[in-house]
Structure 1
Amino acid sequence: MIVFTLFALFFALFLLWRRARIAVAVSAAAVFWLLAAGWLANPLLDWAQRGAQNTPHVRFGHDTVIVVLGTGTEHNDEGVLVPKPDALIRIAKTAALYDACKRSAPSAQCTVIVSGGNPQRHETSEADNYAPYLLRLQVAPSDLLLERTSLNTYQNAEQVARILRAKHYDSLILVTSAYQMQRAMLDFDRFGLAPQPVVSNARKNRTGVIPRLANLVNANIALHEVIGRAQFHVYRAFGWF
């Protein structure tokens, strides 16, 4: 967690720089209040989500593939492992696209690929956890493919590309949240894929005086995406991607 790492750096600086402990403490308190109250989290989130591509009129083909990216799982109050809120929105958007695809032509072949392994080391992969929700939303079992090995967005693209090499398709759609879309499109392009981007949702902060955990979460997500995009370009420059 990037925000936690920032806190750890301030704490280390506080311990090591004895002469400036008051200044470090005040600076740390100011930074975390600005993040938690939304004043610094807002521009970070705007930066991460700005320019996220979205296809206004999705084109369905005779053989359409809809890819939805995982975004984690969590345990609810009953201890049951469920998709995170953003994942539920992605699932709903994917099911709506699948329904529209099926209605686009009587003979249309519509395939949904759920891409998500188990980076959190929970009981099941994201793909396995999301699948029942898609089935309940009328996605046919025969049209559902689960990619269970990827641990990050780059691997999402890598593994989906591997699946598509053995499959014919004439329309490719990518579903994810606004904050992840730009990095996802970079990664899919790296493997020669040019999907139609469909943004499922965008995150918002609540700015004010009272610190809010949700603002810190959004700031962490935004920093993760901005750093991830910078990392992609650095790795490409060095030939590592």
Structure 2
Amino acid sequence: MLCAVIGLALFWLLAAGWLTAPLLASVQDGALRYPPPRFGERTVIVLLGAGTKHDAQGVLVPKQDAMQRIATAASLYARCKQEAPHCQVVVSGGNPQGHEAAEADNYAPYLLRAHVARDDLLLENKSRTTYENAQYVARILRNERYDSLMLVTSAYHMPRALLDFRRFALTPTPVASSARVAQRGVLPRWKNLVAANIALHELIGMVQFYVYRAFGWF
């Protein structure tokens, strides 16, 4: 009986936003406090994938968080072209969902329509995890000359992404594309449960990173 009451209380705290809000803050608040990025003579903007989905017509499209990341990367690129002679966008995202196209390939047309030049767009479409994002991007950048590196992803994803990129000796400037918000109240909300699940996934992922590093698996 006690376990049921505790479980119900936890469910309500998450669904009503009171526990979800601090969970979100623990993973994304730091990513929202970084200073604005500075463009070097040769700037590389790394965009991390956030999944794909089928729309009402059955067309494969980027998920909402991915669209925000795409928009942020395109905006950075436009600003970069005004300030620097060399700007490149690297899109990193394979096909972990088993859809008909990798994330990077699916996102490319949106970036092109946002006026990212084809010659400045590089696709990494093999990675299935954030760790592999960092691993494969590091391989690409070994052959690239750059003096400014930026990482575009959602605020909640940024701490874990930075851990993985630093593992491969990359120290990008973080640029958060969006943040999740918990709505506190009395009534439970599905969006709060989704946000709580995302925050817990990121926290578990960071714990996993340190455990794997301790065992030499990362």
TM-score band, normalised by shorter chain: over 0.9
Residues 190-234 of structure 1: per-residue CA shift (max 9 Å, x gap): 001111111111110111122111111100110011111111112
Q: Would you say the 8 A contact 1:67–1:174 is kept in 2?
A: yes
C-alpha separation between the residues in 2 aligned to 1:140 and 1:54?
30
Q: Would you say the 8 A contact 1:83–1:130 is kept in 2?
A: yes
C-alpha separation between the residues in 2 aligned to 1:206 and 1:57?
28
Aligned equivalent of 2:47: 68
Aligned equivalent of 2:92: 115
TM-score norm. by structure 1 comes to 0.86
Aligned equivalent of 1:141: 118
Bigger Cα Rg: 1
What's the offset of the Cα at 1:53?
Answer: 6.1
Residue 27 of structure 1 aligns with an amino acid whose one-letter code is I
Please show how residues 1-241 of structure 1 align to structure 2 within 5 Å: 22-52=1-31, 55-105=34-84, 108-241=85-218
What's the offset of the Cα at 1:89?
Answer: 0.9
Aligned residues: CA RMSD: 1.4
C-alpha separation between the residues in 2 aligned to 1:100 and 1:52?
21
Q: List runs of 5+ in structure 1 lacking aligned partners.
A: 1-21
C-alpha separation between the residues in 2 aligned to 1:129 and 1:67?
16
What's the offset of the Cα at 1:26?
Answer: 3.1
* Closer, same or farther: CA 223–151 of 1 in aligned 2, 3 Å: same
Residue 140 of structure 2 aligns with an amino acid whose one-letter code is I
C-alpha separation between the residues in 1 aligned to 2:209 and 2:195?
21
Which stretch shifts more, 189-198 or 58-67? Answer: 58-67
Which stretch shifts more, 228-237 or 65-74? Answer: 228-237
Q: After the TM superposition, list the runs of 4 or more consecutive aligned residues in structure 1 that deviate by more than 4 angstroms.
A: none
C-alpha separation between the residues in 1 aligned to 2:194 and 2:103?
20
Q: List runs of 5+ in structure 2 lacking aligned partners.
A: none
Residues 81-112 of structure 1: per-residue CA shift (max 9 Å, x gap): 2111111111111001101111104xx11110
* Closer, same or farther: CA 74–146 of 1 in aligned 2, 3 Å: same
TM-score norm. by structure 2 comes to 0.95
Residues 35-91 of structure 1: per-residue CA shift (max 9 Å, x gap): 111122111111111322654232212221100111111122222221111111111
Q: Secondary structure at the match of 2:31?
A: coil
Residue 100 of structure 1 aligns with an amino acid whose one-letter code is R
Which stretch shifts more, 51-60 or 84-93? Answer: 51-60
Which stretch shifts more, 42-51 or 128-137? Answer: 42-51
Q: Secondary structure at the match of 1:180?
A: helix
Q: How many residues align?
A: 218
Q: Would you say the 8 A contact 1:54–1:197 is kept in 2?
A: no
C-alpha separation between the residues in 2 aligned to 1:54 and 1:150?
28
